[in-house]
A and B are shown apart, each in its own frame.
Chain A
Amino acid sequence: MGKIILMVAISAALFNATTVFADSEIEVIKQQLDALKKDYEQRIQELEAKLLENEANTALEQKEASYPATSIKNTFNPDISLILDGRYASFDNDPENYELPGFFQGPESGIGSEGFSIGHTELIMSANIDENFYGKMTIALAEHDGELEVELEEAYIQTLGLGNGLTVKAGRFYSEMGYLNQQHTHYWDFADAPLIYRGIFGNQLVDDGLQMTYIAPTDIFLQLGAEISNGSHFPAGGSQSGVGTWTAFVDFGGDIGIEHSWQLGLSHWQANDISGREGGGHAHGGSATTETPSFSGDSKISALDLVYKWSPNGNPKQQNLKLQFEYFDRNENGTVTMLNSGPPEEITSYDGNQLGWYAQAVYQFTPQWRTGFRYDQLDSDNNGSDEDVLSEAGLDNEGHTPKRISAMLEWLLSEYSQIRLQYNHDQSYEVTDHQIFLQYTMSLGSHGAHQY
């Protein structure tokens, strides 16, 4: 077609040249050039039209796609979430009589009250502070002996992308001792802590300090970390100035294919020169002042944790299995004094060795139902110069090996709400207890990612 137009244009130009009777040859050439110019302009226009036509669809489709997304979320507000946790508990034995013979227990190591009660109501706020830091705070409201207590569970800052796999955390945080310790109670698979956590940490180890972790640039997950803290919280305690405890941990982890993943952790916690760590009061009926054991000396805890998870095709929402095992071992050396005793004040040397483990399996067989089974076992071997004082401090295991079997069934109504029924066959002390919990855990607001 272009050729025809060209020929027409040229012949028109020639025709013009012959009919107009140009004065000179130059005039003829000028006219020919004008004709050529017109012709080329026409062709270019045609090509442009074709191009436009070809891209019409594309342009149409892309028109509505040309505005980049804007986020509705106000990024200047921190993520806020509220955890509501309530339960109904039924025990055969009086929960006041609960004890773990042979274990030097912290102030909060009971099993809670019977009947209706609210558990830990947690308010969590977190956000990236700026490019360099992330901050998080958790406040827990809980009732102890009829009094409402506000606990600051976590309040820390953490570096973001310090580089080379390094992260520094400062403030109050859950220690990376063990596996379960760093998880919030609402994320636990059972309504109560494993016996060993209750026995040596008073449920969870938290302290004010500094943590540093390093992740190696390896294909397998390898994390090394250390913490130093002031040591004012159980199982350290008493008066402290400066650094009271330190922790070191190493974690390995990886996948086996798409469906299996695992993590293995080793950790060690140590407090030297604890002076005057008070244990849970050991009430002696009627007396005005309670005799409380107080420990001074060194304490060391070592732990091993192993977690394995499986989900078909790597889709845990549909179905998943989680196996978990943790082992703890605590060694203590020093003296135990019974406060408010005597005169003369009761005192004994103390060489304590307490250990325990638990193993659990949780199987989510459909997106909305989970069931789990847990077995706990503890053991202790404590020696001292005065067996009577040790016994009074609750450090004589009375020849008993604490054990517990738990089973639970969970109904996951949505990602944000769940209802759990749990049964414990509890042999923490000599008298076997049957415990039943019916518990709800719901979360409101933004729901952040959970750790492995």
Chain B
Amino acid sequence: MFSVIIYGRNDQHGYNLHKRAAISFNALAEVMSDPDDEILFVDYNTPDDHPTFPEAIADTLTDKAKQHMRILRVRPEQHVHLKSKTHLVALESQSRNVALRRSNPKNRWILYTNTDMLLVPRTEGESLSDILGALPDGFYQIPRFEIPEMLWEAAFDRKDPAGNLAKLRDWSVRFHLNQVVHNFMPMKYDALGDFQAVLREDMFAIHGFDESMILGWHCDSNLAARLALYRGRVDTLMDKAFGYHCDHTRVAAANNKGRKTTMNSHDKYIWNVSSPYIPEQAETWGWPDATIEEVRLDRDTSYERYIAGLSQAIEPATVPFTNTSVEWHLFDDLTYDLRHTLPFVCDQVLTYPKSTAILVAGCRADFIQRFATAWRGMGFTGPVLVPQEVGLAVDDPAIRRGRFADQLKRADLFMFEFGLATQKIDDPVRVGREESLADRRQLKAVERLFRRAASTEGETRPKGRQTPRRFIGINVIYNKYWPIFTDYVGANINPFCAQVLAGIPLAEPVTMKEKVILKFKKKKAS
């Protein structure tokens, strides 16, 4: 019957976002009763190495919310062409249009709202699907009522949407919450963007939200202005449902700088709108040709993929714990426990698109072998590119061997592993083992490839790609590869236990040699 369209990203937009959003997602699902109903969440521009926002809070969502939710992930690479034109990191019009284009065509209605709204049917037991199903064609709004921060934060149980809606029915009376704030037409009510129910067909006819509105604010008013022209009227649905907003002004959101807030022009986008249509985006709104990944919370989840991949690549431990050490005298020992490290390695890649091509250059054949197995098991369809220059005899359906120079231009992600080629899976770890000649030769080869990849990353990107590619280093903590890796890659300080560092290449690599020269120059100058 209807598709709810909301958007956001995995960040902190305003006060206690996680609780607000969980309350809202669960409450929206609670008032759905048609199997075709859906909550379309556009996860816009979350960094590639992060899960989407709903995935990050999935444990706080009800089964019903997970069943109805479809997450459409817009990658930073898909946003990058707009990056220089806006100060915002998440764009409303683009997000909502991406969802509209991909909404369930069986649904007659689109409901635009936000991730902090609870919709309460006035007749208990009635669903929003029932309400919208009985409505004649039109464009409907409801007034928004505020819930004080104390109330929703302290008294709502995220996983009890029915209880939360019942509380609202009580509070609305007890605390006089229901105050209708009227507004100038075509807005009808204040904060109208929290409930605009529109025919899907109408949204297609008027070419969706205006995608030139990239400075934030008034996208909802612009839509109202255009739909009010198109339909002639703005109808109320306040006889059927009330909308409650979890107030979140304790902390200003990123798009709210008080009187200094940058926003889309009120004049241009409301008071000088002259047509419901936007002919200049008639063919392009909602990015019809873009491949938008869809993530589900009720099946094929990242966790399920992770488990599947690792289960194929490693066996469960047979001992209660194993040992390693960061004692100083073991600094040069490059042995590590592959079975312990692989889960942290897989954790680094899981949030990337399934079609990702990853270049893996390593010293240990068993690492590459097991990683490739896990890669396939996690559902990746892109290749594991292994440069022939590393010279390892590994074989897996996911592995593509080839010239490093060619693979550099194909890879979306890089992984460099610095272990001892001679280490076997059950060899002891960090007991003072020295490198053999074969180990040294292999390490040199991988290091050379790493330096070349990291220092030329900007020039070797696949055609059309603008965002820098991420580098993952394995066994690069608390050994000689720590400084080498971080000379080129901006990585955080991670615990030794994980063995993994990751980041994007520094704008200008600072090698040890360069550091010495800089120091010398400074000394000379002083």
Do the two chains bind? no
Chain A residues with CB under 8 Å of chain B are none
